[in-house]
Chains A and B, each alone.
Chain A
Amino acid sequence: AQSVAQPEDQVNVAEGNPLTVKCTYSVSGNPYLFWYVQYPNRGLQFLLKYITGDNLVKGSYGFEAEFNKSQTSFHLKKPSALVSDSALYFCAVRPNTNAGKSTFGDGTTLTVKP
Chain B
Amino acid sequence: DGGITQSPKYLFRKEGQNVTLSCEQNLNHDAMYWYRQDPGQGLRLIYYSQIVNDFQKGDIAEGYSVSREKKESFPLTVTSAQKNPTAFYLCASSVSASGANVLTFGAGSRLTVL
Interface residues of A (CB under 8 A from B): 4, 9, 32, 34, 36, 41-46, 49, 51, 90, 94, 96-102, 104-107
Contacts and interface: CB of A to CB of B under 8 A. Distances in A.
Interface string B46-80: 00101000000010000000000000000000000
Nearest to A43: B105
Say what secondary structure dominates the interface of chain A: loop
A100 B35 CA distance: 16
Interface of B: 4, 6, 35, 40-45, 48, 50, 58, 90, 92, 97-100, 102-108, 110
A43 B106 contact: yes
A98 B97 CA distance: 7
A29 to B, nearest CB: 13
A104 B100 contact: no
Given A94-B100, A107-B40, 6 more contacts: A43-B105, A43-B107, A46-B102, A46-B103, A97-B98, A102-B103
